[in-house]
Amino acid sequence: MFKFLSSDPLHDPTATTTGSTEVKTTTCYMCACRCGIRVHLRDGQVRYIDGNPDHPLNKGVICAKGSSGIMKQVSPARITQPLLRKPGSERGAGEFEPISWERAYAILEQRLSHLRATDPKKFALFTGRDQMQALTGLFARQFGTPNYAAHGGFCSVNMAAGMIYSVGGSFWEFGGPDLDHAKLFVMIGTAEDHHSNPMKMALGKFKRGGGRFISINPVRTGYSAIADEWIPIRPGTDGALFMALLHELIKHDLVDRPFLQRYTNAPQLVVLDEGEREGLFAFDPAAGAPGDGRNPHNKLAWDLSSGRVVRAYPEGVEDGRLLALEGHYTLSDGTRVAPAFQLLRERVSKHTPEWAAEITGIPAERICQLARELGETALQQAFELPIAWTDAWGKHHPRTQARPVAFHAMRGLAAHSNGFQTVRALAVLMSVLGTIDAPGGFRHKAPYPRHIVPNYRAFNDPDMIKPNSPLNAAPLGFPASPEELAVHADGTPLRIDHAFSWEHPLSAHGLMHNVIGNAVRGDPYEIDTLLIFMANMAWNSTMNTMEVRQKLNARGADGEYKIPFLVVCDAFQSETVAFADLVLPDTTYLERHDVMSMLDRPISEFDGPVDSVRVPVVEPTAECKPFQEVLIELASRLKFPAFTNEDGSRKFKDYPDFIVNFQAQPGVGFLMGWRGKDGTQHLRGDPNPDQWAMYAKNNCVFQYHMPKDQQYMRNWNRPYLDFAKEKGWRQKNDPVQLAIYSDTLQSFRLAAQGKSAGRQPPDHLRERIATYFDPLPFWYEPLENACVDQQRFPLAAITQRPMAMYHSWDSQNAWLRQIHSHNYLHVNPRTAQAAGIEDGGWAWVTSAWGELRCMVRHSEAVEPGTVWTWNAIGKASGAWQLAPGADESRKGFLLNHLITDELPFAGGRISNSDPVTGQAGWYDVRVSLRAAGPDEPAQTFPQVSTWPSLPGLLGRGTRVMNRFLSKKP
């Protein structure tokens, strides 16, 4: 229960409406999907929120969360003023004193300017699900610290990196299934979260149009409820299914051979001889250097027409060529080679449906049938759209070939320590069916596709961390070879989270989950100030939660905290706020400007780029300030070059001014609509001082429809590639051949095997790199399986994000907590009965790393070897302004307590993450179940002591109610 109760009705429907009313449009932020909303106000107060029918993303549709934004606005858990931990009080004791913003800025300015002038890497900035990583990343770069990342490392970086390194784009923000043209839709490893409203709308239309929808998931919830067929699968085994599907498709020649020959690296010749070129593509030295993954157009192929080797680009795709996909060949210098597709064929030859059935739990016959369905739908039910287009080599195609098989996948594949190679396997599966940027298949959204490998190197030069100097590259990027790792000469990591080190070389989104542990250990060095924005690292955004909470309080021999200064910016009294030394009160999304930018993660549609904004619809509450404003203010005070004029004065008045006037390249800013002095230019143009007003007048969104001939096949579409380069979305206009085979991965493997001349990993990591950096996709067991006794812990335990709540944000939302205020562990009845646990009964769940007590719900909608629960419903007592004894802390629980943040490795420990990308292995945990005893308390375990309320919370009940009812307090 909240700490307020009122007998007054909230709303009297018979009362006469008084006061002035108005409707303002902005963009929802009750989850990350970014739907357009209309906020209805009376006398300047929010009365209700509905979907904006004129918004291209959701077309008026709104979900429970979106319409409950009003209760976020008046949440009793809102922090309303900057707070400083009282001198002498302990972190977590909740003893804070309110301070002014000027004092907060002065504290930060003094501390950060000292760090910047002495050792910039001692400042670390890590953010949660923020939607302005172009700004937060710029801040870190200008500060001069490599220690920056957002939440991607513990969210779905495996999905992003696995797809981008293979096809140049990924699901959700960067691309998705074309359900307008698909006939078969396979959703695998996806809960009802990413791309929520648009997916619901697309699914409804798809089903009404007669499309067939197959859901493959351990759990049948959310979207899966309307699937034509549910195929249960064991968690962490999706990669085995993909390998068996590839086996069947190749065996029965259900592959799109012309597509593979022209648009992928399948025909490119791989060196088979041992040595430093082993496993890399043979290349033509006259067409460029050997290549590091960024120089893909000098490779060779075997032309069956002429019986000789040819350049794979551009000659290899000329009419009259017939590039070999199979066979073994010898080059004129005696080098033995084979097309990449031949190696894929050999790789999957042993991955029979029977092999995969043992691993996945899906019967072999069903796997064979699924492969037939996929292949026959893609190839035999194919059709063409009457859209002519021209490819990168100048060939005119009078029509566009559809491949009507679409997939959608997200965290269910990604959040495993084998996720990168699993996602690679899916990308290769989609590629052999020819469904990449084809009608009915996977389609990109601008600015994707990126180059493979994207032309964004992560910062990696230790000598460029210099006092009072920006870094010479952004902290995050996409390494293309060992030479681009962020390591010292001895191989030790440059970053506090060990991202881009030999431990996790392709960690494109950083490893936020490593920061606290490494900082406390001083590994690879100690830091001074950790600034956390919008991430609940002391609770649901961390594995091994109890130990992490202790680490936040850990002190050294000198009695000082190991992380000396912890700054938390949040709008609400989260569990993490309790540990802060300095608390900065953020606004809600209804109180601020924001951009969903082409420089970051826009809301683009398949047919062209779309960006959008938030504009304030109400004034900030009390002393709340948008975090963006805080960053602009600090950047100006600290005199970052990009924020300072030559005379030392500040360049930008505030965040809106920064958004309008900052240019990443001439004419390219954060927003692409209404540019130029009078707002008549789009996509690229000079800054427009009235740009915000023009967005506000136009539903807070700018949409550009590409001409029809540029809407498909964009990896190879000449006019699109030229256009994208001209508008600054790409650095080059060359085609993006799909990477069936990854020479980038092979370059890491060669280094680990000691076969290449450049950088080599430390000895204890050689075998790990050599194993997991396989240039062809493969399936391996999640890493936890090798560390635990699977007889003792026979069940896989996973979580899902609930439909009605986004991460931990919504337990302070009075409407949404009526939908669920606690969670259950959902268990198949057979499994529960075998453990003697009744429906609704209490049980102990034990992993190799910890145990918890929770309530169990019997459910047929989960396969017998899996148990699952909603994520982040359980709360620490007293957090989020929930009363002690609230359901969230007494009946709700976090599975995180059972998940380890580190695994044993080489006599020490290593992050419990994917060895390629550093993606947190949330879904790998193995557990056992037993019934709780009749005398045990009917309350979840573990519990934490109740945290007292913060000073100045909006919370005190009548104040909230009076505000909502527009009465004077």
Instruction: Say whether residue 30 binds ligand SF4 (CB under 6 A).
Output: yes
Given 80, 170, 197, 417, the residue binding ligand SF4 (CB under 6 A): 197
Instruction: Say whether residue 78 binds ligand SF4 (CB under 6 A).
Output: no
Stretch in the footprint of ligand SF4 (CB under 6 A) among 24-32, 269-277, 330-338, 568-576: 24-32
Q: How far is the CB of 31 from ligand SF4 (least distance, A)?
A: 3
Contacts with 595 (C-beta within 8 Å, 6 or more apart), sequence order: 132, 611, 612, 613, 614, 659, 670, 671
> Which of residues 62 and 446 has its CB atom nearest to ligand SF4 in the complex?
62
Q: Kindly state the DSSP code that residue 831 receives in the 8-state scheme.
A: H
> Which of residues 194 and 718 has its CB atom nearest to ligand SF4 in the complex?
194
Name the helix (H) or strand (E) containing 666. Answer: none
Q: How far is the CB of 76 from ligand SF4 (least distance, A)?
A: 21
Q: How far is the CB of 71 from ligand SF4 (least distance, A)?
A: 13
Q: How far is the CB of 196 from ligand SF4 (least distance, A)?
A: 4
Site string for ligand SF4, 148-187 (x = CB under 6 A): ----------------------------------------
Cα separation, 696 vs 673, in Å, equals 12
Instruction: Say whether residue 813 binds ligand SF4 (CB under 6 A).
Output: no
> Which of residues 58 and 889 has its CB atom nearest to ligand SF4 in the complex?
58
Could you give the 3-state DSSP secondary structure of residue 311?
Answer: strand
First to last CA, the chain: 22
Given 196, 544, 881, 911, the residue binding ligand SF4 (CB under 6 A): 196
Q: How far is the CB of 30 from ligand SF4 (least distance, A)?
A: 3
> Which of residues 594 and 633 has its CB atom nearest to ligand SF4 in the complex?
594
Given 2, 26, 34, 803, the residue binding ligand SF4 (CB under 6 A): 34
Long-range contacts of 309-318 (CB under 8 A, 24+ apart): 309/269, 309/282, 311/284, 311/287, 312/265, 312/267, 312/268, 312/269, 313/287, 313/735, 313/737, 314/393, 316/267, 317/261, 317/262, 317/393, 317/395, 318/393
Cα separation, 845 vs 201, in Å, equals 38
Stretch in the footprint of ligand SF4 (CB under 6 A) among 28-36, 221-229, 405-413, 447-455: 28-36
> Which of residues 66 and 479 has its CB atom nearest to ligand SF4 in the complex?
66
Q: How far is the CB of 19 from ligand SF4 (least distance, A)?
A: 26
Considering only residues 37 to 76 of the shown chain, the ones binding ligand SF4 according to CB under 6 A are: 58, 62-63, 65-66
The residue to which tokens 């950060």 are assigned: 112
Beta-carbon neighbour count of residue 644 at 10 Å?
Answer: 18
Site string for ligand SF4, 450-469 (x = CB under 6 A): --------------------
Number of H helices, E strands in the chain: 24, 38
The residue to which tokens 């948008």 are assigned: 626
> Which of residues 69 and 291 has its CB atom nearest to ligand SF4 in the complex?
69
Distances (CA, A) of 240 to 144, 362, 392: 43, 11, 35
> Which of residues 33 and 624 has its CB atom nearest to ligand SF4 in the complex?
33
Given 28, 266, 751, 798, the residue binding ligand SF4 (CB under 6 A): 28
Phi, psi of 386 (to 5 degrees): -80, 55
CA gyration radius, the chain: 27
Peptide bond into 524 cis (omega under 30): yes
Considering only residues 865 to 924 of the shown chain, the ones binding ligand SF4 according to CB under 6 A are: none
Distances (CA, A) of 949 to 94, 535, 636, 716: 7, 20, 34, 58
Distances (CA, A) of 735 to 297, 431, 721: 9, 15, 7
Q: How far is the CB of 27 from ligand SF4 (least distance, A)?
A: 8
> Which of residues 425 and 571 has its CB atom nearest to ligand SF4 in the complex?
571
b/e sequence 807-816, b meaning 16+ C-beta within 10 Å: bbbbbbbbbb
Contacts with 286 (C-beta within 8 Å, 6 or more apart), sequence order: none
Cα separation, 145 vs 151, in Å, equals 18
> Which of residues 30 and 231 has its CB atom nearest to ligand SF4 in the complex?
30
> Which of residues 65 and 129 has its CB atom nearest to ligand SF4 in the complex?
65
Stretch in the footprint of ligand SF4 (CB under 6 A) among 33-41, 272-280, 333-341, 526-534: 33-41
> Which of residues 28 and 359 has its CB atom nearest to ligand SF4 in the complex?
28
Q: Could you give the angle at which helices 419-432 and 157-167 cross, rounded to 10 degrees? A: 40
Stretch in the footprint of ligand SF4 (CB under 6 A) among 26-34, 182-190, 682-690, 699-707: 26-34
Distances (CA, A) of 12 to 16, 17, 657, 965, 967: 9, 10, 42, 10, 14
Q: Could you tell me the two tokens for 821?
A: 């205020």
Work out the angle at residue 752's Cα, subtended by the Cα atoms of residues 746 and 758, and round it to the nearest 5 degrees.
85
Given 33, 140, 765, 825, the residue binding ligand SF4 (CB under 6 A): 33
- Using CB under 6 A as the binding criterion, the count of chain residues that bind ligand SF4 stands at 13
Q: How far is the CB of 58 from ligand SF4 (least distance, A)?
A: 6
> Which of residues 196 and 418 has its CB atom nearest to ligand SF4 in the complex?
196
Residue from 72, 33, 205 nearest 617 by CA: 72
101 in Cβ contact with 599 (< 8 Å): no
Please give the residue whose beta carbon sits closest to ligand SF4 in the complex.
Answer: 66
Strand partners, 309: 302
Instruction: Say whether residue 35 binds ligand SF4 (CB under 6 A).
Output: yes
Q: How far is the CB of 130 from ligand SF4 (least distance, A)?
A: 15
> Which of residues 31 and 338 has its CB atom nearest to ligand SF4 in the complex?
31
Cα separation, 196 vs 176, in Å, equals 12
> Which of residues 196 and 431 has its CB atom nearest to ligand SF4 in the complex?
196
Q: How far is the CB of 52 from ligand SF4 (least distance, A)?
A: 10
> Which of residues 196 and 919 has its CB atom nearest to ligand SF4 in the complex?
196
Q: How far is the CB of 56 from ligand SF4 (least distance, A)?
A: 13
Name the helix (H) or strand (E) containing 931. Answer: strand 926-931
Considering only residues 768 to 807 of the shown chain, the ones binding ligand SF4 according to CB under 6 A are: none
Under the rule (CB under 6 A), what is the footprint of ligand SF4? 28, 30-31, 33-35, 58, 62-63, 65-66, 196-197
